[in-house]
Structure 1
Amino acid sequence: MRKARLILCALILVASGCQLTRAPAEPVPALLAPSALGHTLQVSQQLAIDSQAGRRNLLVVWSVDAQALQVVGLTAQGRKLFSLRYDGQQLHSEHQVPLPGGFSGERFVRELQWAYWPETDVRQALQAAGWGLQTTANTRVITNPEGLQIKYHFVQGAWPASVRLSHFEHYQMKIDTLSASEVSAPAAGAD
């Protein structure tokens, strides 16, 4: 009897595993090199993310130079939620709480780059994965291989402009740039 139960349990596990097997995920475009931005910046932005789970507000401070992109996410009260560092090869992330809306660090960096990195670099990374990019003066529309879209609408203003993002995964993000400054590299030999 015990042997029959074990066999039955094994069959149930195998059958449930077959039901959970999914088609391979679509190719995801590669992250872009931090140096591709062509600027050394420090940017502060207010984000409002609206999803089925409600609204999440956070402050994001990011800096980029030729070596790395660094992002810190804070609550409205200044409590650190996460930090990300991408050196062009590896993404290192530290989370005090999960990113809002189930974002991964890689996804957050990718969507930041799709908004602000040069169009030619974004297009090249997207096309390599079978995705597309259409642009106008104030928009970027990214289309995945299934035809689903992510729309970036840039609000007039100094670059990096504020953005309204509408994602095919049923969320919207409002990104308001609070400050942005070009940061000069330290002088050689300076400590």
Structure 2
Amino acid sequence: MSRMILILIVMLLSGCQQLRQSQHSCITLAADVNQCLAPLPWQHSAPPADELTQLVTLKRYDKQQQLTMSLALTPQNMTIIGLAPLGQALFTLQFDGHTLSSEQSMLLGEQFRADYLVAMLQLVYWPQAALQQAISGAELSEQQCGKALCRQLRRDDKLIASVEYQQSDKWHSQAVLTLPQADVRLTINPL
């Protein structure tokens, strides 16, 4: 009897998840500006960290959402787990540099796109040269600024995206990614 209950619970919980896979995913950042998911830059070396936990705040228009993200990095894989403020699992993403697999809660709805989240993380963390190869239609630059470091993606004189870091070690710094045309502001705070 208890085994039947356990099977029923597992079936109900798995019914609340969707599994998706995509390969060579590209997103549109602006008109004529695209970013394809870039390979893992540490596939032949040690990753920049083994595990990171971050508080992520996404603000779009006047709406704001927060979640806790846990990143696990190996030479072959990046795993991202997103938790709601009350601890409910929202998504688990696996990216091996070529294929992106996402398992996501139905609570996220159809609007959540794992490829956008990974692309945003790549805009924040990937080395400039590796990321530039994945971007078409705009130029990526990095320079010292009023903060420790700033990164900008521009098409001609138009700002497509900017990232401001509090410290030069990007993986352990607060980072603020802004996409002005989409009115998106993503703030990442290490925990």
TM-score (norm 2): 0.70
Report which stretch shifted further, 138-147 or 80-89.
Answer: 138-147
The 3 A distance-change label for structure 1 pair 82 and 53 is farther
Structure 1: 5+ residue stretches without partners: 1-24, 179-191
* 1:49-78, Cα deviation, whole Å (9 max, x unpaired): 111251101001111222111111101121
- Classify the secondary structure of the residue corresponding to 2:65: strand
- Classify the secondary structure of the residue corresponding to 2:158: coil
Counterpart of 2:104, as a letter, is H
Query: 1: distance between equivalents of 2:157 and 2:133?
Result: 18
User: Equivalences for 1:88-167 in 2 at 5 Å?
Assistant: 88-96=97-105, 97-98=107-108, 102-126=111-135, 129-137=136-144, 138-143=149-154, 147-156=158-167, 158-160=169-171, 161-167=173-179
Query: 2: distance between equivalents of 1:33 and 1:99?
Result: 27
The 3 A distance-change label for structure 1 pair 159 and 81 is same
Alignment length (residue pairs): 151
The 3 A distance-change label for structure 1 pair 92 and 174 is same
Query: 2: distance between equivalents of 1:80 and 1:114?
Result: 24
Runs of 4 or more consecutive aligned structure 1 residues displaced over 3 Å after TM superposition = 35-38, 144-148
User: Equivalences for 1:31-110 in 2 at 5 Å?
Assistant: 31-36=37-42, 38=45, 39=47, 40-52=49-61, 54-96=63-105, 97-98=107-108, 102-110=111-119
Query: 2: distance between equivalents of 1:144 and 1:69?
Result: 29
Counterpart of 1:31, as a letter, is L
- Classify the secondary structure of the residue corresponding to 2:36: coil
How far is 1:143 from its partner?
2.6
* 1:151-178, Cα deviation, whole Å (9 max, x unpaired): 1000127541110111131021111011
- Classify the secondary structure of the residue corresponding to 1:34: coil
Structure 2: 5+ residue stretches without partners: 1-30
Percent identity for Structure 1 against Structure 2: 22
How far is 1:130 from its partner?
2.0
Query: 2: distance between equivalents of 1:165 and 1:103?
Result: 18
Provide the aligned C-alpha RMSD in A: 2.5
Structure with a larger share of its residues in strand: 2
Query: 1: distance between equivalents of 2:109 and 2:52?
Result: 19
Larger radius of gyration: 1
Query: 2: distance between equivalents of 1:136 and 1:145?
Result: 17
